[in-house]
């Protein structure tokens, strides 16, 4: 076994329900505008145009249970999303086989520096500065498919300080989980450890330090995330 020239980066490991073993993360893909009502609120056509994706970094996934308000923004938005964890991958995966590659599902948040994202959009520049910042994706415990199957419907809800801000249903996704996996695999080689954030329903909005987010998706439980 070879040694490294510097200290090796840590493997990002996420907790899994019912086991002490954790899920190691490779890549994080995020779909944009996957619920029609959210596409409309962001000023876009809700028609089924081809999906588009951006990426976060593996170490942006944060199971710590709190969200530190990031620097360089005064308009940080919540986006509740279902995270899909892959146990295998490949190229050109057929829609019919796509769900065979899923290990499990978890609650997650695609926290967004909306002001910075908006500036980047206006200039036709990449979104990382608005999306892929430190601890930008709080994530809950992973529920394996062997326990819960594949959630295709169920209420999606995010409250800020007890008030419902986002609500929808998993069955409102424009691109289903199987279709996202298949589509991504035409462009990237998917592999075990890849995570897909599957988009957010309408109602995104800002949070402030001191707020508390209560996040729930039917079948995946709930999590409470203070903004610190
Ligand atoms: Mn999102």
Residues surrounding ion ligand 1 at CB below 5 Å = 79, 110, 200
Residue-level pLDDT at 134:
98
Ligand 1 centroid to Cα of residue 175, in Å, is: 13
Which of the residues in the chain have pLDDT under 50?
Answer: none
Ligand 1 centroid to Cα of residue 42, in Å, is: 11
> Facing residues of 56 across strands?
28
Give all domains of the chain, ordered by start, each with its CATH number: 13-152+170-203 (3.90.850.10)
Closest to 80 measured CA to CA, from 168, 180, 152: 168
Residue-level pLDDT at 163:
98
What's the mean pLDDT when you consider all of the chain?
Answer: 96
Residue-level pLDDT at 1:
63
Ligand 1 centroid to Cα of residue 6, in Å, is: 34
Residue-level pLDDT at 92:
98
Ligand 1 centroid to Cα of residue 109, in Å, is: 8
Ligand 1 centroid to Cα of residue 199, in Å, is: 5
Ligand 1 centroid to Cα of residue 94, in Å, is: 24
Angle at 137 between CA 81 and CA 89, to 5 degrees: 70
Q: What's the whole-model pTM score?
A: 0.96
- Classify each residue of 134-153 as buried b or exposed e, where b means 16 or more C-beta atoms within 10 Å of its C-beta: eebbbbbbbbbbeeeeebee
Ligand 1 centroid to Cα of residue 15, in Å, is: 22
Ligand 1 centroid to Cα of residue 81, in Å, is: 7
Residue-level pLDDT at 46:
72
Ligand 1 centroid to Cα of residue 34, in Å, is: 8
Complete edge-to-edge strand list for the sheet that includes strand 205-206: 112-113, 76-78, 205-206
Residue-level pLDDT at 47:
72
């Amino acid at each position: 076994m070879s040694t490294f020239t510097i200290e090796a980066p840590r493997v990002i490991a996420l907790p899994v329900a019912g086991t002490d073993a954790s899920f190691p993360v490779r890549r994080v893909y995020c779909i944009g505008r996957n619920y029609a009502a959210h596409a409309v609120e962001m000023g876009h056509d809700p028609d089924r145009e081809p999906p588009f994706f951006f990426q976060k970094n593996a170490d942006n996934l944060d199971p710590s249970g709190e969200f530190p308000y990031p620097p360089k923004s005064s308009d940080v938005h919540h986006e509740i999303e279902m995270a899909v964890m892959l146990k295998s991958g490949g190229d050109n995966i057929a829609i019919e086989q796509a769900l065979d590659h899923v290990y499990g599902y978890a609650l997650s948040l695609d926290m967004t520096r909306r002001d910075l994202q908006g500036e980047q959009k206006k200039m036709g520049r990449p979104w990382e500065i608005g999306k892929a910042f430190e601890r930008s994706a709080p994530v809950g415990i992973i529920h394996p498919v062997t326990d819960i199957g594949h959630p295709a419907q169920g209420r999606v809800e995010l409250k800020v300080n007890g008030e419902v801000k986002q609500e929808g249903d998993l069955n409102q996704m424009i691109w289903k989980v199987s279709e996202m996996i298949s589509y991504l695999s035409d462009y990237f080689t998917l592999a075990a450890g890849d995570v897909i954030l599957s988009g957010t329903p309408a109602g995104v909005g800002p949070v402030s330090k001191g707020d508390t987010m209560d996040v729930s998706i039917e079948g995946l439980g709930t999590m409470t995330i203070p903004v610190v």
